[in-house]
Structures are given as structure tokens and as C-alpha cells.
Copies of this chain bind each other. A is one copy, B any other.
């Protein structure tokens, strides 16, 4: 019987979807399911061999009218969902950036789900807000952000789901700041800046915020500068805009601001490394910026989704994002003594994301977080050395933390040699990925096709990195020939 025919007949016993005994049994079953999954994780191909639409051939087109036993649903997930997963927790996953995870985060997140508070303001669950503020203060100290980003100094941190939201929220704050100075009719004069190496997130956030496409300046970078943004290029662009009567409003970069623009640093990946003092210099200059974001879900073991945003002047953020509907008015807010996180983000409702970050920091301590980062960097350095030791290959840009961008070298100089190399490297990556053994991805930097090898899933060990390199080596010559 399809569920769409009519009223469905409810099951005879009362429906108690949070019955404690049911939950206990089902949750323990799920935990064992996960343990089995992790045990066998390396036996799954990292990228699934499925065709678009595969799942619709395995599951019904209409929802089920009657309940299905929990164990049967788990088996169905095993049989239909798992074969179509790209396994981000597989230790042979070297694609994109890693999404790291930990037992503490999983347990913290489960607990957060079970508490299920909708903590849009302080009153709607004080502990959620206060734990978030405190944990963000902790992490700010851990990566040695200037004191101005702490709550005690008028700054503060908030957890967002994604970097995009952090960028969008600060962009909205920047717009308000600049327009207040310039007069409110200057919206079409706002100009924003980022390097051509900035994540696509930035351009999208600008589009969402309604920045005129003609006013988004993407500053070119070059290989000789290691593809970093040159302060003089940025300054020239800003000067030209200001001279033309436009309003430089927002820079997404790692350099200090000028022209009264809001400067945001996107340290989604790199920020986590800064828990180690030896990497902290990558944030030099952050004392002169307005906001910074980093994503512990990338490299600090928290699982999705967990992006930290800190601002130096929280009032600038909250005055641009606040709402004050009658049904949320309350004395705590009116007292001015509390943080209402709905005014720090796009949405109203929000998950209790701080709990998993808190549990990661508490269960592991700074010592282990540092050793986790260092271990990944050490493995990536080992990979980089192996690449450099093989004359067929080259590291295209210096390793950045645990990310190695490399390729097979061109076999002759000039544009044709480059084109050949691009084709051969593309082929090599395909061959390696199609083997099912590992998964890496590519990008194009300064016109050069490079293979990105990002070390750092939680389960990756040195043996996985070595085996991956052996795979690239073994397939290199054949790929070159096949691409000709």
C-alpha cells in the first residue's frame, strides 16, 4: 500500500518516537554499525562506482505508509546508501581538504542532538550560548589571536556552519559600516577585493549580498609570488577605485586594511595549524584585521559543521544582523548582559555546535591537538620529499601545511610541453583514482594543472601516504604514454 492513497492506519500501540528503551537499543545498534563500518573502512573504494540515479533504482518512488523495523532500515542503509558514499573517513582519501573527526566530537554531537535546544538567543538556552562563547575564547587563545577578539575586549566568536556564512555575515557588517560613513545611497559604489586564489565562496557571498558584479575585484597573483596576494597590487586597485569615487568596503585576504575597508581573513584550513606555535606566524598581521574565520571541521577533529568566526567589534556585526521581534523579547536581552547568537548569523535557529568543539578540546587537550597537526604535516612533508626525489615529478608550489600540489614535469619547454604535461597529469590522476585505492583531486594554479594531495583524514597513517605515492609512481609512465 502506498502512503498517498488515503489516511494511513496508525500502528496499534501508541506512537512513542522517543521511548527510552527503543532509543537505547537503536542507538547501541547504530554505534555497533558504525564500529563495523570503521573496521572495514579500507575495504570500500574511496569513490563509489555508481552512475547518476543509482539510488532511485534501489528504493521506492513513494514514501512508506507503514513503519519498518529499525534493524531493517539500518540494513537498507548498508545496502543502498553505503555503496554510493564517497568515504571521507577512509584513510586513503587525499582529496579536497580533509574533514576530520573524532570520538569526542561524535559523542558531543550526539549529545547535542539529544538535547536539541534551538538556542537562537541566550534565554532560549543559556548554557548553549555561554559554552559557545567560552569555547571560542579558548580556541582564540590557542591560536593566539590578539586579545581584541575575546569577549572581554568587545570582540567575540560564534560558530557558523560554513565559511561562506562567515564571509557573508561579515560582508553585511562591512557594508553597513561603510555605508554609514558614506551615506546610505552608495550601495552600488561598494567594492570588494580578494585574490584569484580565494575560495569561490567569496564571489558567491558577494553575489548573495547583492554587490554589483562589476565591483568585485579579483586581484591576479603569480607563481613568482607563490600565488599570494601582493599588498601593492591590492593597494593600487583600492586607490584606483577610491579615486573613481567608489567605496572600498571589504577585503578577503591576509593583509592589513586601508581605506577604512573591513578586512576578513579566511583561515578555514590554516587556522587549525596555528594551535602549534611553529605555524602561528601564518597569522602574523591578524592584529590589524576586523574578522577571521577557521573551520575546525576541516582539521581540528570536530566533524561537520563547525566554522569559527571571530570579530574584533561584535557590535558592528550584531547591529547589522539583529532582529527584535516581539515574541523573542525578554529581560535577559534587555539587560544587555547576554549574547544572542541569532544576531551573529543568517538564521534564527541553530544547533548546539559548541558541545562537540568543547568535548574535543577537553578530551584531547592542546597537547594532542598539536601532535595531531604535526603528525599530518610530517606525513605530507614525507610525501613532498618523495615527489622531489623522483626526477619525473615536481612540487609546483611549496607544500602548505599538509597539502602538496605536484605534477609530472613537462618533457619539453614551451606551451606545447605544458599542454602535454597537463594532459598527462590529468590522465595520471584519473588512473590513480579509478584504481579505487585512493582519491586525490586537482586544481589549476597559474594556468598549470596540478594534482592536490591533502594529507589528514583522522585515520591516515604513514603507510597510507607511502602506498599512495607508490601508486602515483607506478602509473606515471603509462599515463604519460596514454595521454599522448
Contact = CB atoms under 8 A, between A and B. Distances in A.
Contact of A106 (B27, B103, B297): B27
A221 interface: no
Nearest to A305: B351
22 contacts: A7-B277, A10-B370, A11-B368, A23-B34, A24-B31, A31-B110, A47-B123, A52-B332, A55-B126, A56-B130, A70-B103, A86-B117, A109-B109, A161-B347, A165-B346, A200-B324, A204-B323, A207-B320, A304-B351, A305-B347, A326-B442, A327-B441
Contact of A116 (B66, B99, B363): B99
B113 A109 contact: yes
Interface in A94-130: 96, 99, 101-107, 109-111, 113-119, 122-128, 130
A229 to B, nearest CB: 17
Contacts of A370: 7-8, 10
A118 B96 contact: yes
Contacts of A9: 367
Nearest to A375: B15
A181 interface: no
Contact of A443 (B4, B20, B326, B362): B326
A37 B48 CA distance: 39
Contact of A81 (B28, B118, B124, B355): B355
A39 interface: yes
Contacts of A7: 276-277, 370
Interface string A48-90: 1010111110010111111110100100110011111111110
Contact of A35 (B24, B67, B116): B24
Given A59-B134, A84-B127, A103-B27, A18 B89 contact: yes
Q: Which of A32, A104, A205, A347 has the largest number of chain B CB atoms within 10 A?
A: A347
A338 interface: yes
A63 B361 contact: yes
Contacts of A82: 127
Nearest to A50: B126
A116 B210 contact: no
A103 B18 contact: yes
Interface in A1-52: 3-4, 6-11, 15, 17-20, 22-24, 26-35, 37-39, 47-48, 50, 52
Given A15-B368, A323-B204, A364-B17, A31 B34 contact: no
Q: Please tell me how many copies of the chain the complex holds.
A: 2
A390 B127 CA distance: 38
A320 to B, nearest CB: 8
Q: Which of A20, A67, A107, A211 has the largest number of chain B CB atoms within 10 A?
A: A107
A183 interface: no
A442 B349 CA distance: 18
A308 to B, nearest CB: 13
A230 to B, nearest CB: 21
B304 A363 contact: no
A470 interface: no
Contact of A325 (B11, B113, B199, B458): B199
A238 B287 CA distance: 49
A272 interface: no
A289 interface: no
A103 B23 CA distance: 5
Interface in A195-217: 199-201, 203-205, 207-212
B89 A115 contact: yes
A110 B52 CA distance: 26
Contact of A162 (B29, B348, B368): B348
Interface in A354-368: 355, 359, 361-368
A37 B110 CA distance: 13
Contacts of A53: 130, 337
Given A124-B86, A162-B348, A38 B52 contact: no
